[in-house]
Structure 1
Amino acid sequence: MSGAHDVDVGALADRVEAFVRDVVVPYEKDPRCGAHGPAEDLVVELRQKARAAGVLTPHILPDGGHLTQRETATVLIRSGLSPLGPTAVNTMAPDEGNMYLLGKVGTAEQKAHFLDPLVSGDARSAFFMTEPAAEGGAGSDPSMMQTICRMDGNHWVINGRKAFITGAEGAKVGIVMAKSEETGGACMFLVDLPHPAITLDRILDTIDSSMPGGHAVATISNLRVPADQMLGEAGEGFKYAQVRLSPARLSHCMRWLGACIRANEIASDYACRRMAFGKPLIDHEGVGFMLAENLIDLRQAEQMIYWCADVLDSGSLGTVESSMAKVAVSEALMRIADRCVQVMGATGVSGDTIVEQVFREIRAFRIYDGPTEVHKWSLAKKIKRDHKAANA
């Protein structure tokens, strides 16, 4: 399937892959890669090189349009071949999802002010939706949202707490989600960051370490936002969240599939070179069969991604399909990453290769953008609704 543009997506994906393998991979040992993601100066350096190579923000067309989801998959899988790849070429979460939402919902003025710096790679963004679980806030159930907004003249005033806000530290663009005090409906607001009314209380120590800025806990105190910085219409925030989250779930699948392809390459090379009991590890069935299972899971994950991409390209919101893809792909990639560690033994749990990091990243992926169990529960509810409708 091809979009209405002149871009040779296959050639573009090849250029992205060459850039990631040749330029980005050597940075994986850079000391600026920390527990809370790559440092800001490293992000800038990598993006300068991506810009020079013509592969920065490759999923956004020169005219501001977007590749189809199928085409996006072809490109984003390649960008994920290194944990640093999506950051380098500007396909990383949450920016990629925020760009998509702004492109769909933002006004011309909002796009010029907030979207253009993201597309150019000159700014990062944060999506302020999730709230602290210990305080009863919204997580997988956004209806539990406690952050509130109210009109005050020509401004909205927002108060609340947010948690696990990826990339908030160092971000220049914020999308803040809050519940209207008057109507109870959700609203989204665009905010220039940093902002004195948004305090980053702490950066959480988490199992993953690939996303710039880490994951923050934030307090929002009397944040005043001009009415023209509301994203979309008042009360439609939950609908816009689905516009963003369905393709964003799939984009995660794309990027992390790329990482697992690379991890499997490393594990396979290790198994073919490492000798044990008189022969290469690959010749021991216990090892060879694990790598064979990896090939099967990799192909099935790829097919699930392209199937869901085609559904989204058909114009469907794709919430059911993206839930299926999130479950199937995240669980398959977890099996792959785990096998790669196991095949490599002690080397697999060391920092000598990226296999250990990929394992950590995929473990986190099974939770964010909806844990496996939440998506299965949602799918089970659909089965019940469909059964009831068919037997009414």
Structure 2
Amino acid sequence: MDFEYSQKVRDLQKRLEAFMDEHVYPSERVFREQLDAAESRWSIPPVMEELKEKARAEGLWNLFLPDSEYGAGLTNLEYAPLCEIMGRSPIAPEAFNCNAPDTGNMEVLVRYGSEEQKKRWLEPLLAGEIRSCFCMTEPDVASSDATNVRASIVRDGDEYVINGRKWWSSGAGDPRCRIAIVMGKSDPEAPRHEQQSMILVPLDTPGVKIERTLPVFGYDDAPHGHAEITFEDVRVPASNMIWGEGKGFAIAQGRLGPGRIHHCMRLIGVAERALELMCERVKNRVAFGKPLSEQGVIQQWVADSRIEIEQARLLTLKAAYMMDRVGNKEARSEIAQIKVVAPNVALRVLDRAIQAHGGAGVSDDFPLAYMWASSRTLRLADGPDEVHRAQIARLELRKERKTSAGERV
């Protein structure tokens, strides 16, 4: 496996890093101040649209779409280091139109959408003019098993009727959110993994109601938020069905592979920034007569953080490499592995950085507390650790083992 970045990727890295230094990092505080000063927290800080305009003008736009006429044409392996850079700031992914859940939704439309669906929804998403949300998780069932979903999608002539309740629909609180991809059951009698479908539901359709936005460890994640949404006798044209009835589970699996790579590389970016903040802090703080950086336990924290970040990055690059070479299905063990490793590594590094900052670490004076809260949610998003570990174990146990004669197995 050759993980050396091509000249094309190295050039993009330099351009992204320069843009982050010049525009994104200085805008983080401006973003918060503008949001806090607005009449409603569910309004878009003007600085974000300014960043998007600059990024698009510099060609740093829609980098996430692999081998696509709509994006930069990068493979998963090529995009991974760029995603890491964007992960260093909570406002960076949107500035480059590489933010979840829009990235996953755009990939769904690119792969499985009709020409009509692409024209109406994909194009404005690619232009950064609207936002979207993904509605799968439900409050009344264990949604780590996607076959549990109860929301119904029933054909009625030239329409489908949707009923159900979803939550943790990230981005639905955003005033620019126009469309939801909803997963529900269209045929309860079909084979277990062919009962589900995905359908496009405009949020202004009668019967769609955003009940509330949900805080994450006290953070409202405004202006995007995570919503609980009810669908009551919602009618949409039959042409809104994505791919076809019974394809929901297959779409979900296709969507989650690249999405998990994106999450994991962003988490490595989070961990890198946390390590940088920790190193800066311990070199400038004195306790018990010497700088914290000279304390043995601090040096162990720094060393362990560097080791863990490097391991997580290499495993994620391996998963990206395999996705490109053999496809998501063959790389499912590696994808599951990084989904366990990356958030846990980020959380450990963040915890050390918070500890090194003392009381400041849990305040909003530094980004560490928010980064920790966001990273902790990713041990649940796209499936909890336990589900991924179970899949890794099943795949490992299925392997045929070669043993020498007489060796006990």
TM-score by length of 1: 0.90
Give the partner amino acid of 2:207: A
Among residues 169, 174, 177, which one is paired with 2:180 in the alignment? 174
Does structure 2 conserve the Cα–Cα contact (< 8 Å) formed by 1:145 and 1:179?
yes
Give the partner amino acid of 2:33: P
1:8 Cα deviation from its structure 2 partner: 2.0
Structure 1: gaps of 5 or more residues: none
Give the partner amino acid of 1:249: R
1:20 Cα deviation from its structure 2 partner: 2.1
Instruction: Give per-residue Cα distances to partners, 1:129-170, cap 9 Å, x unaligned.
Output: 1111xx2x3510111110011111111111111011101123
Does structure 2 conserve the Cα–Cα contact (< 8 Å) formed by 1:209 and 1:361?
no
1:187 and 2:197 are equivalent in the alignment: yes
Give the partner amino acid of 1:117: P
Question: How many pairs align?
Answer: 382
Query: Quick one: structure 1 residues 50 and 123, their matched pair in 2 at CA, closer, same or farther if it must change by over 3 Å?
Result: same
Query: Quick one: structure 1 residues 278 and 212, their matched pair in 2 at CA, closer, same or farther if it must change by over 3 Å?
Result: same
Match of 1:259 in 2: 270
Match of 2:64 in 1: 59
Does structure 2 conserve the Cα–Cα contact (< 8 Å) formed by 1:341 and 1:355?
yes
In the alignment, the residues of structure 2 paired with residue 103 and residue 10 of structure 1 have an alpha-carbon distance, to the nearest angstrom, of 27
Identity of aligned residues (%): 36
Match of 1:99 in 2: 106
Does structure 2 conserve the Cα–Cα contact (< 8 Å) formed by 1:92 and 1:211?
no
Query: Quick one: structure 1 residues 369 and 44, their matched pair in 2 at CA, closer, same or farther if it must change by over 3 Å?
Result: same
1:341 and 2:354 are equivalent in the alignment: yes
Higher relative contact order (Cα pairs below 8 Å, separated by 6+ residues):
1
In the alignment, the residues of structure 2 paired with residue 176 and residue 123 of structure 1 have an alpha-carbon distance, to the nearest angstrom, of 17
1:21 and 2:34 are equivalent in the alignment: no
Q: Secondary structure at the match of 1:314?
A: helix
Query: Quick one: structure 1 residues 62 and 141, their matched pair in 2 at CA, closer, same or farther if it must change by over 3 Å?
Result: closer
Instruction: Give per-residue Cα distances to partners, 1:33-82, cap 9 Å, x unaligned.
Output: 57x98842444343223223432323347831542001110211111111
1:269 and 2:280 are equivalent in the alignment: yes
Does structure 2 conserve the Cα–Cα contact (< 8 Å) formed by 1:117 and 1:123?
yes
Give the partner amino acid of 2:215: D
Q: Secondary structure at the match of 2:138?
A: coil
Does structure 2 conserve the Cα–Cα contact (< 8 Å) formed by 1:304 and 1:329?
no
Among residues 142, 151, 163, which one is paired with 2:167 in the alignment? 163
1:365 and 2:382 are equivalent in the alignment: no
In the alignment, the residues of structure 2 paired with residue 172 and residue 358 of structure 1 have an alpha-carbon distance, to the nearest angstrom, of 27
Query: Quick one: structure 1 residues 197 and 310, their matched pair in 2 at CA, closer, same or farther if it must change by over 3 Å?
Result: same
Q: Secondary structure at the match of 1:235?
A: coil
Match of 1:284 in 2: 295
Match of 1:201 in 2: 211
1:14 Cα deviation from its structure 2 partner: 2.0
In the alignment, the residues of structure 1 paired with residue 35 and residue 374 of structure 2 have an alpha-carbon distance, to the nearest angstrom, of 14
Match of 2:407 in 1: none
1:369 Cα deviation from its structure 2 partner: 1.2
In the alignment, the residues of structure 1 paired with residue 115 and residue 155 of structure 2 have an alpha-carbon distance, to the nearest angstrom, of 23
Give the partner amino acid of 1:311: M
Does structure 2 conserve the Cα–Cα contact (< 8 Å) formed by 1:341 and 1:359?
no
Does structure 1 conserve the Cα–Cα contact (< 8 Å) formed by 2:214 and 2:220?
no
In the alignment, the residues of structure 1 paired with residue 221 and residue 19 of structure 2 have an alpha-carbon distance, to the nearest angstrom, of 18
Does structure 1 conserve the Cα–Cα contact (< 8 Å) formed by 2:187 and 2:246?
no
In the alignment, the residues of structure 2 paired with residue 175 and residue 37 of structure 1 have an alpha-carbon distance, to the nearest angstrom, of 24
In the alignment, the residues of structure 1 paired with residue 35 and residue 86 of structure 2 have an alpha-carbon distance, to the nearest angstrom, of 18
1:141 and 2:154 are equivalent in the alignment: no
Q: Secondary structure at the match of 1:158?
A: strand
* Aligned residues: CA RMSD: 2.5
1:215 Cα deviation from its structure 2 partner: 0.7
Deviates more, 1:108-117 or 1:40-49: 40-49
Match of 2:406 in 1: none
In the alignment, the residues of structure 2 paired with residue 183 and residue 221 of structure 1 have an alpha-carbon distance, to the nearest angstrom, of 23
In the alignment, the residues of structure 1 paired with residue 61 and residue 92 of structure 2 have an alpha-carbon distance, to the nearest angstrom, of 11
Among residues 307, 310, 319, which one is paired with 1:296 in the alignment? 307
Structure 2: gaps of 5 or more residues: 404-409
1:93 Cα deviation from its structure 2 partner: 1.0
Q: Secondary structure at the match of 2:243?
A: coil
